[in-house]
Amino acid sequence: MNFLIVNQHTGNFGDDLAGVSLIQQILSKFSNAKIDIMYRTPKGSIDYFDSRVTDRHDLDIGQKNRIKFLIYVFLRIFGVNFNFYSDAKLFNEELSKYEYFIVSPAGANIGIYKDWLYLLRLFLIVKSGNSLLFHGNTIGKSSNFLFNLLARYVLRHSLVYSREVKSTKFLSTWNINAIQTVDTAFLFNNVEESLKFSSNTDLDIPKNYIVVIPTQLNNWHPSFKNWDEKDFFNSYLIPQIVKVAQSTEASIVILPHLHGLYDEQKYLLEIADNLRNNYNQKVIIPKLSHFTEYNSFIKTAKFVISMRYHGVVMSVFNHTPFISLSYENKMTEVCKYAGFSKINHEISTLKKEKIDFYEEYKLASKIINETNFDILDERLEYYAKSPLNQLSFVTNGSVND
């Protein structure tokens, strides 16, 4: 069985974890599976080494020559299939080799992020007579009429599993029946635990630490373009981080979430310098080389303060006390369906609420201790497996279990 995973994101340890969890599930469920991965970014890779998995860097239609790509898409919209450049010819030749096309787990590329390359690739696959399986995506309406028109066409020719109730409700307004699931990263099987902290042998990694996962929202998120990030950090967030660290006698680990092309190293260093110089705090920024290390730092933390969605997902996964600083509905929802709504706060209103993070730490620890994770983990696993369970059902039992 030949699978093509389309538009797999990289440069983001959270998306790496979601992507590798999907690969692990395909390989465990389908005995004769072969997987090709088509990345959203040039030369992307999630470093999953298995002879059955191939990074298809040659299938990067739309990356090299945007003008030819757009002309080709325009012709395909009107039913003309003229492979006048090499990328289109290869792309069409390769599509015939796959039985299954899975849209990798991702955020609102179809929605507020309005990712044209992402959408147009999916359009070309559908236009070639193939159907897509959206495997736990956030989907919404963009601000562009043509984008929404093409998105609706693609989604109507797809089996859609969404990781958000908000997305499924929206899709119903387009007469698209989306099925509810949860994030794929809840299925992560850390088979490479030996890699823990492998890139940080030169660091004095503390035994007692809190993890902070920050991001510069006004630098990339459409809803936070005018957000006063410096004021939020300097007058509120950093003092709250310090209060938790001092009250728990913990060091601070600022955990990178992005890597490669998108890393926020300069920004993270500014935060670390502020904590060291103005508050005399012990701070380290680990150099992560692999998604397993990202997971390991969260797993062994005393407390996680996360401004990132997968920072919350992996905290739940590892049963680590956390506070969610929500920049999007997906963070609010994961806390709701996992039973941690009390420790989720909308970041845009956080200063007005005057949340005391040390009190949040105590509350989070209490909630984690009282949670029946045997039941919760089983429930999250059930829903996270639902897309591939559906796929295995329609393949007439060609699975291992």
At 78, which CATH number? 3.40.50
385 lies in some domain: yes
Clarify whether residues 84 and 216 are in a common domain: no
Supply the range of the domain harboring residue 128: 2-189+379-394
Clarify whether residues 121 and 222 are in a common domain: no
Clarify whether residues 145 and 249 are in a common domain: no
238 lies in some domain: yes
Determine the pLDDT at residue 226.
86
Q: What gap in Å lies between CA 387 and CA 103, rounded to an integer?
A: 11
401 lies in some domain: no
Clarify whether residues 184 and 218 are in a common domain: no
Q: Which parts of 251-341 are beta strand (E)?
A: 251-254, 283-284, 303-306, 322-326
Clarify whether residues 141 and 240 are in a common domain: no
Torsion of CA 118, 120, 126, 129, to 10 degrees: -130
Q: What gap in Å lies between CA 334 and CA 48, rounded to an integer?
A: 26
Determine the pLDDT at residue 353.
76
Clarify whether residues 348 and 389 are in a common domain: no
Number of compact structural domains in the chain:
2
At 286, which CATH number? 3.40.50.2000
**Residue-by-residue pLDDT tens, the chain, 401 positions:** 999 999 999 889 999 999 999 999 999 999 899 999 999 988 788 888 889 999 999 988 998 888 999 999 999 998 898 888 889 999 999 999 999 999 999 999 999 999 999 999 999 999 999 999 999 999 999 999 999 999 999 999 999 999 999 999 999 999 999 999 999 999 998 765 444 455 555 556 778 999 999 999 988 898 898 888 888 898 899 999 999 999 999 999 999 999 988 889 999 999 999 999 999 999 999 998 889 999 999 999 999 999 999 999 999 999 999 999 999 999 999 999 999 999 999 998 886 777 999 999 999 999 999 999 999 999 999 999 999 998 876 565 443 34
- Reported as a single tens digit per residue, the pLDDT across 275-330 is 999 999 999 999 988 899 999 999 999 999 999 999 999 999 999 999 999 999 99
Which of 44, 45, 36 lies closest to 63 in space, CA to CA? 44
- Scanning 137-183, the segments in alpha helix (DSSP H) are 145-156, 165-173
Q: What gap in Å lies between CA 393 and CA 360, rounded to an integer?
A: 44
Clarify whether residues 90 and 183 are in a common domain: yes
Q: What gap in Å lies between CA 289 and CA 310, rounded to an integer?
A: 17
Clarify whether residues 348 and 390 are in a common domain: no
251 lies in some domain: yes
Can you say whether the dihedral through the CA atoms of 199, 205, 208, 210 is positive or negative? negative
305 lies in some domain: yes
Q: At what angle do helices 116-127 and 66-77 cross, to 10 degrees?
A: 40
Clarify whether residues 199 and 183 are in a common domain: no
Clarify whether residues 158 and 261 are in a common domain: no
b or e along 343-374 (b: 16 or more beta carbons within 10 Å of the residue's beta carbon)? Answer: bbbbbeebeeeebebeebbbbbbebbeebeee
258 lies in some domain: yes
Determine the pLDDT at residue 30.
92
399 lies in some domain: no
Clarify whether residues 121 and 16 are in a common domain: yes
Clarify whether residues 227 and 310 are in a common domain: yes
91 lies in some domain: yes
